[in-house]
Amino acid sequence: MRIMARFNTQLVHGLPVNDNNTGAVNPPIYNSSTYAFESVESMPRWDYARSGNPTREFLEKQIAQLEHGTRGFAFGSGLAAIHAVLSIFQPGDRIIAGDNVYGGSYSQLNEHFNRWGLLVDSVDTCNLTDVERAVAGHDANGRFPAKAIYFETITNPLLKVNDVYAIAEIAHRYGAIVIVDNTFVTPYLQNPLDLGADIVLHSATKYLAGHSDVIAGLVVTKDDRLGQRVYFAQNRLGGVLAPTECDSVRRGIQTLALRLERQQENAISVAKYLLNHPLVRNVYYPGLTDGENLVAKGLRGAGGVLSFEVVKGIDPSDVLNNLRLFRLAVSLGAVESLAELPCRMTHFELPRDERLKVGITDELIRLSIGIEDARDLTEDLAQAFEKAAEACLIAREKPLDESALV
C-alpha cells in the first residue's frame, strides 16, 4: 500500500524511480551519457541521457510531486527553464509579462524572443484591471488576446505580492496560459498550480538547492498536454541538468523547510530593524504588514528576501561596500546572507527609465537573508550604516576644488 506522505516527508524522500536494488538510502548518480539496448528491437526506458536520466528523473518527479503537477523538468539554469517554456509558443503569439521581473527574464523576453516573432507587452500584475486589459487586447491597436501571461509570485526586487488565483481566472477567460515563477517562495509557501496556474518555474539555484553551489532550473506543468510540449523543448534544445547537479538540488530540497523557516524569522527581524533606522527611507517586505493579504493570495509566508531604500544623500554603495557578514553578490535563497544593488547588478539589463518607472531606484538595496544569527546580521548592517553616514559627512565637508571649474 502506498503511503500518502505529507510535504516535509516528501522533501526528504521524494518518489522512487525503482532503478536499483542495492538498498542505497540515496538515489544513485548515473554519470552515463548512453545506455545499452538489449536488442535492436527493444525499446528501453533509457537510451540517451539528453532524453532522460534516472538521477534527473528522481528530481523531476519530486518537484512535480511538491508542486502538485503532472510532470517536472530539470534544466541547466533558471533562464534555460524559462527559455524552454517560452519556446512552446509560435511567432506572432503575444505574451504578457509582469513589469517587475528579474532582469535576465526581461532581457530574454525583450532582446531574444522578440527577434523570433513573439510579441511581448508588460503590465503591472498587481493591477487586475490592467491585467485584463492587457490579456484581452484591443482591435483598435491591433493587439489580439494574449497566449500567455508570465509573472513572479512575489516580484523582484520590490516584493509585491501577486494574486495568482485572480490573474489565472482572468487569463483563462481569454484562453491564455498562466506561467508563474515561484522561485521566491517555493512550494513550501505556495502551490500556484492549485491556484489556477498552468506552468510553474523555479530557479532551483536559489532556495531549492540552497547552498550557492549549483545552477539549475525546474519546470512543472499542470497537465500532460503542456508537459509534452515542454519535454519536446527540453529534449530538442538540450539544456538539461547534469546528473551530479540534479543530486545537489535533491539534497538541498531535503532541508528546504528547515532553512526557509529560519530565513523567514531572520527576515522579519532584519526588516523591523531597517524600518526603524534613520538612514532608511522605505522597506519592502510583505511579511511586515501583509499577513492577511498573504493568506488571501494563497501564500503561507513571505520568504527570506527583502529590499530597502536609503535616504537621499547616503550612497548605497557605501553601505554595501562596508558590509562584512553579508556577501556582496547576486542570487538569493542560500544559507548565507547576500546583499546587492539591483540597478547595477541583477537589473542592469533594464534601461534606467524602465527601472524608475516600476520603482527600482538607484538607492534600492536588496537583501537575501540566510540562516545566521539575526543579531549578527543587524549588527553588520549597523556598522555599514555608520560608515556610510561618515562618508556622507566627509563628502559634504570636502572643500570645493576650484580648479575643476576652470
Whole-number Å distance between alpha carbons of 371 and 114: 40
Closest CA to 338 of 328, 349, 324: 328
* CB within 8 Å of 66: residues ≥ 6 apart: 7, 10, 11, 187, 253
List the catalytic residue out of 56, 71, 99, 102. 102
Query: Which residue out of 56, 206, 222, 355 is catalytically annotated?
Result: 206
CA distance 231 to 25: 29
Cα 323 to Cα 207, 214, 234, 369: the distances in Å are 23, 25, 41, 14
- SS3 category, 180: strand
Could you give the CA distance from residue 190 to residue 209 in angstroms, rounded to a whole number? Answer: 17
Hey, what long-range contacts does 392-401 have (CB within 8 A, 24 or more apart)?
Answer: 392/313, 392/314, 392/315, 392/318
Q: Active-site residue 188, yes or no?
A: no
Q: Considering only CA atoms, which of 265, 303, 270, 268 is closest in space to residue 288?
A: 268
Question: Residue 393 class from Cβ within 10 Å (0-12 exposed, 13-18 middle, 19+ buried)?
Answer: exposed
| CA 177 to each of CA 220, 320, 322: distance values in angstroms, whole numbers, following the listed order | 13, 40, 45
Identified catalytic residue from 163, 181, 198, 318 = 181
**Catalytic residue chosen out of the listed positions 35, 50, 290, 387:** 50
- Check if 206 is active-site: yes
How long, in residues, is the chain? 406
From its phi and psi, is residue 210 left (phi > 0), alpha (psi between -120 and 50) or beta?
A: left
Annotated active-site positions, please?
Answer: 50, 102, 181, 206
